[in-house]
Amino acid sequence: MQMQASLNAVRSHSAMGVLVRAMGVAAVMAGFFAAAPAFAQVTDCQGDIGKLQAKREAHIAALNRLTKAGKGKLDPIAACPQLNSLSAIEGQILAYMQKNQNWCDIPETVIENVKSGRQKTAGFAGQACRVAAMARKAQQQQAAGGGGGAPQAPRLPTGPL
């Protein structure tokens, strides 16, 4: 019962909500680079972060396709690897920004926003993966004939009454 409630909660949690929060990070980064001075190092920073951002956007697009295929609901089994990859890429972006904060002239608020967005993505990925693991276990039990702990119908007496 608890697994079904968790599964329903993750499935009903639209990927768009996660993606809207994740896109907030992209908007902060885009605003930063639009206002940054046009020095050579900023151009290098834009290119480096742009490459990482392109990878991130590819995973967001994949999650959008999963949501569309699920008619607005995100399947945790299919979403788990994509969410983990998205979180890892956001971690790479954060690490790059922290390492090159002075060189790229990145304000601390941008780094804090990216860090917050990554934590939210990682949290949602963890939740989806836990539900996916429970769903896989239930599928395996059902395939093995275990019925997932559901009560079996009582046997009726046979023979003459």
Helix (H) or strand (E) holding 59: helix 40-69
Task: Please tell me the predicted confidence (pLDDT) of residue 27.
Answer: 47
Q: With 90 as the cut, is the pLDDT of residue 85 above it?
A: yes
- The values of phi and psi at residue 154, to 5°, are -70, 150
What pLDDT, in 10s, does the model give residues 35-66? 444 445 556 888 999 999 999 999 999 999 98
Of 74 and 8, the one with more pLDDT:
74
DSSP label of 113: H
Q: With 60 as the cut, is the pLDDT of residue 148 above it?
A: no
> What is the value of pTM for the model shown?
0.64
Largest CA distance in the chain: 95
Sequence-ordered list of residues with C-beta below 8 angstroms from that of 90, at least 6 positions apart, any chain: 22, 25, 56, 114, 117, 118, 121, 122
Task: Please tell me the predicted confidence (pLDDT) of residue 159.
Answer: 58
CATH number for the domain whose boundaries are 2-143: 1.20.120
Of 92 and 45, the one with more pLDDT:
92
* Residue that is written with structure tokens 């480096």 in the block: 48
Mean pLDDT on 11-25: 45
Domain ranges (residues) in the chain: 2-143
Task: Please tell me the predicted confidence (pLDDT) of residue 103.
Answer: 87
Task: Please tell me the predicted confidence (pLDDT) of residue 150.
Answer: 53
Nearest to 73 by CA among 1, 138, 8, 129: 8
